[in-house]
Amino acid sequence: MTSRWSGEWALEPPGGEPEVDVLIPSFGRPAELAVTLAGLAAQEAPAFRVILSDQTDGEAAFDQPAVRAMVRVLEAQGRPVRLERHFPRRGLAEHRSYLLGLAGAPSVLFLDNDVWLEPASLHRMTRALRAAGCGFVGSAVQGLSFLDDSRPQERSELVLWPDNEVRPERIRPGTEGFDRWPLHNAANLAHAAAELALPPGEWRLYRVAWVGGCVLFDRRALVDCGGFDFWDQLPPGHAGEDVAAQWRVMERYGGAGIIPSGAVHLEAPTTVVDRATDAAQEILDQ
């Protein structure tokens, strides 16, 4: 189902189940959250639902006028939106686990609340995930303030999956695949996409160390690998929980990045200030 245009906004919402559940763990940053939702409102396909869980102290971020307006736009387009307040705060792994437990669609997109998606990005990612049959496809976030800062040395690790056929692989610090992480610095993917000169609408999958901010999972694959069930083994102050989950999925089902990436990082200050524990090291190197 494509998005309903403005001439249909006042009609009864359509039925049917979504193909994708977009899961947004949110804390603070209401202005950035409004931009994130506006990016979702620009997606035409596939059918999706938004599940937004907010842990902002005091007034919820989704009670701010700009955020509420974008929620109303999504609902008018036929995109259901579920708003949750989830306390107490036990860290990002627990918050992601909570959101995953609310999802029921075949695919789940974990989307940070400071990422804008180019129109057609979700459709492109969904097609790629279906075609590759792997565990996840990620659109790495790009900082467009770095468009004039080309870093060819950091793009040297870019390796496309032949024929977009993704295979399982094991990534850990010290392995060859771990050295791919600089690919997602600055605006490296924008420069790499320009060098590939792909026609509009086409895409390629490439090998990653991990992908931050915007990752589309096959939900059953993620759940089969435990999701974020390790959250209770971590202190609230941690980072890298997304890496730990992706590495478990990659070992069994494979995972890839998609190029070009339509995900733009809003370059706002991080809200994850306590990074005392590296979740991937803690969980996978026990």
Q: Which of 117, 85, 122 is nearest to 102 (CA)?
A: 85
Q: Please give the Cα distance from 184 to 157 (Å, whole number).
A: 11
Which pTM value belongs to this model?
0.97
pLDDT band at residue 262 under the 50/70/90 scheme: very high
pLDDT band at residue 273 under the 50/70/90 scheme: confident
Q: Which of 86, 85, 67, 63 is nearest to 75 (CA)?
A: 67
Task: Determine the average pLDDT of the residues in 15-21.
Answer: 93
Residue % of the chain over a pLDDT of 90: 93
pLDDT in tens, 187-216: 999 999 999 999 999 999 999 999 999 999
pLDDT band at residue 282 under the 50/70/90 scheme: very high
Cβ-contact 48, 216 below 8 angstroms: no
Residue 286 has pLDDT above 70, yes or no: no
Give the dihedral sign, CA 225/228/231/235. positive
| Contact residues for 187 (Cβ-Cβ < 8 A; gap 6+) | 142, 143, 144, 145, 146, 147, 149
pLDDT band at residue 1 under the 50/70/90 scheme: low
pLDDT in tens, 69-113: 999 999 999 999 999 999 999 999 999 999 999 999 999 999 999
Return the pLDDT at 37: 98
pLDDT band at residue 221 under the 50/70/90 scheme: very high
pLDDT in tens, 148-163: 999 999 999 999 999 9
